[in-house]
Amino acid sequence: MLTAFSPDYATARRRFREAADRLGWSLEAHSIGSTGPEGEELTIDIGYSAAEPPDKILVISSGVHGVEGFFGSAVQIALLELWASTSPPPIRCVFLHALNPFGFAWLRRCDENNVDPNRNFLLPGESYQGAPLQYASLDKLLNPRCPPSRWEPFRLKAFWKIARTGVSPLRHAIATGQYEYPQGLFYGGAGPTAMQNLLETNLDRWLASSQQVVHLDFHTGLGRQAACKFLIDYQLSDRQRAWLVEWFGADAFENCNSEGVAYNARGGLGRWCVSRNLAPDYLFACAEFGTYGQISMLSGLRSENQSHHWGNPSSASTARTKQKFKELFCPAAESWRLSVINTSVDLVARAVCGLTGNIS
Ligand SMILES: [Zn+2]
C-alpha cells in the first residue's frame, strides 16, 4: 500500500494511466493549457470501466486541492492495483485523477489562478462576490504583501487572534471562502475554473444512464491525524442519510451546519454535483483525512501563499516552504500513510457493498 504514493505529479499520472489501462478501462486526458516544473503538460485524467450494469456508478476523485492529490492519487492507484490482483467491483467506476493538476504539480492547494476550486462551484444565481465580515480584518495577518522574512511571529499573532475570537468564528471567517482578495487564501475566483468547465461539459456523459451514484472526493488537512470524516456540504435526504449510517456508521459523517471539524464553505464541489440532477440518487461525500493541527496548517497555508506571490521562486527558502507544505497535506510517516490508505480502501469497499446491496 505504501508503494501507491508517488513522489510527484508526473509519476502519479503515469502510474494512474498504467493501472487503469491494466484493468482495461477507458482513459481520457484533458489538458488545462499549462505546464509543470519539468515542462510537462498538465492534464486532468479520467479513467472509467465499462462494467455492467451501468445504472450504479462509483466515482472517486482526487486532487481538487492540488497538493492533496499526493494522497488522493495514492488511493486511486492502490484501488486499481488491488482490483487488478483480485477482481474489480461489479459496478461501473469513474475515477477523476488530479482535478487540479497545477496545484498537484507545483505543490499548491489552489489552481493556476490562485483559486481554491472547492470554493468555486457556485450555483446559478450565486455571485462571485463577497467575503466573510472578519476576513478584511484578518487579511493583513493571513496574506502579507511582502517577501517572507526569517522572523515572522505568525503563530503568536494567530494565538492572540484565537484567544480573542475563538477557534470556530476564526475558522468560519477564514475557510468559508472569499471572492474579494485574489491573492488571498481561500479565494473562490471570479468565474468558473477550468475544472468546473470540464465537469460541466463532461460529467453527464461519464455518468450516462446512472440511477445511483456514490461519489467520494478525497482530501487531507482537516481533522484528527489519520482519522477520516465525510463532510457533506448539502442537505442530505433521509434516504442518503440512512445509506451513510448503514454503510459507514453514524459517526462517519458531518452534515453542513453541524458543529465539529467542518464549516459552511461556499462553492463546494459536492453541492454542485448533487444539484445537477445527473442521477435520481447522487450521494457525494468529501472524505477528509487529518494530518497536522490547525495552527500548523494555517501557518503553512499562509507561508506557502506568501512565498508564491512575494518570494523568489528559485530560492532555497521557497523550496523549503513548498516541501513543508507537501508534508502538511501528505505526511511522509509510514504509519500515517498505511493507516489512511487502509481506511480509504475499506471505505470504498463499503461503498461498493452498499451500491450492490451486499451490506452485511
Ligand atoms: Zn481539500
pLDDT, tens only, 223-282: 999 999 999 999 899 999 999 999 999 999 988 755 554 556 899 999 999 999 999 999
- For the cut 90, the answer to whether the pLDDT of residue 319 exceeds it is yes
Distance CA 142, CA 185 (A): 7
d(CA 276, CA 206): 14
291 CA from centroid of ligand 1 (Å): 12
13: pLDDT confidence band, cut at 50, 70 and 90? very high
CA of 328 to the centre of ligand 1 (A): 12
Is the model's pLDDT at 315 over the cut of 70?
yes
The CA 350 to ligand 1 mean position distance, Å, reads 22
Average pLDDT estimate for 57-86? 98
In sequence order, what are the beta bridge partners of 27? 47
Residues 170-190: b if buried by 16+ CB within 10 A, e if exposed: bbbbbbbbbbebeebbbbbbe
Written as nine digits, the cell of 286 is: 468529501
Centroid of ligand 1 to alpha carbon of 220 (angstroms): 6
Torsion (CA) 235, 240, 246, 250 in degrees, nearest 10: 0
DSSP state of 87: -
Question: What is the reported pLDDT for 155?
Answer: 67
**C-alpha of residue 354 to centroid of ligand 1, in Å:** 25
Three-state secondary-structure class, residue 248 = helix
Angle at 223 between CA 219 and CA 229, to 5 degrees: 65
| CA atoms of 221 and 298, how far apart (whole Å) | 10
* Displacement of CA 53 from its chain's centroid (Å): 28
If one compares 255 and 143, the residue with the highest pLDDT of the two is 143
Q: How far apart are CA 152 and CA 139, in angstroms?
A: 15
More confident of the two residues 345 and 163: 345
Output the CA 358–ligand 1 centroid distance in Å. Answer: 30
Average pLDDT (64-79) is 98
Distance 72 CA to ligand 1 centre (A): 10
> Quick check: 203 pLDDT over 90?
yes
Is the bond preceding residue 124 a cis peptide, omega within 30 degrees? Answer: no
Of 99, 35, 107, nearest to 72 by C-alpha is 99
What is the pTM (predicted TM-score) of this model?
0.95
Distance (Å, rounded) from C-alpha 12 to C-alpha 30? 16
What percent of the chain is predicted at pLDDT more than 90?
78
CA 238 to centroid of ligand 1, rounded, Å: 26
Inform me whether the pLDDT recorded for 323 exceeds 60. Answer: yes
Instruction: Output the CA torsion sign for 267, 271, 275, 278.
Output: positive
pLDDT confidence bin for 173, thresholds 50/70/90: confident
Question: How far is ligand 1, taken at its centre, from the CA of residue 221, in Å?
Answer: 7
What are the tens digits of pLDDT across the range 270-289?
999 999 999 999 999 999 99
- Rounded distance from Cα 52 to ligand 1 centre (Å): 32
CA pseudo-torsion sign 215, 221, 226, 232:
negative
Residue ranges of domains in the chain, CATH in brackets: 2-122+187-294+327-356 (3.40.630.10)
For the ranges 78-87, 145-154, 238-247, the lowest mean pLDDT is seen at: 145-154
Q: How far is CA 211 from CA 125, 188, 267, 355, in A?
A: 27, 31, 25, 11
For the chain, the average pLDDT equals 92
**Residue 24 confidence (pLDDT):** 96
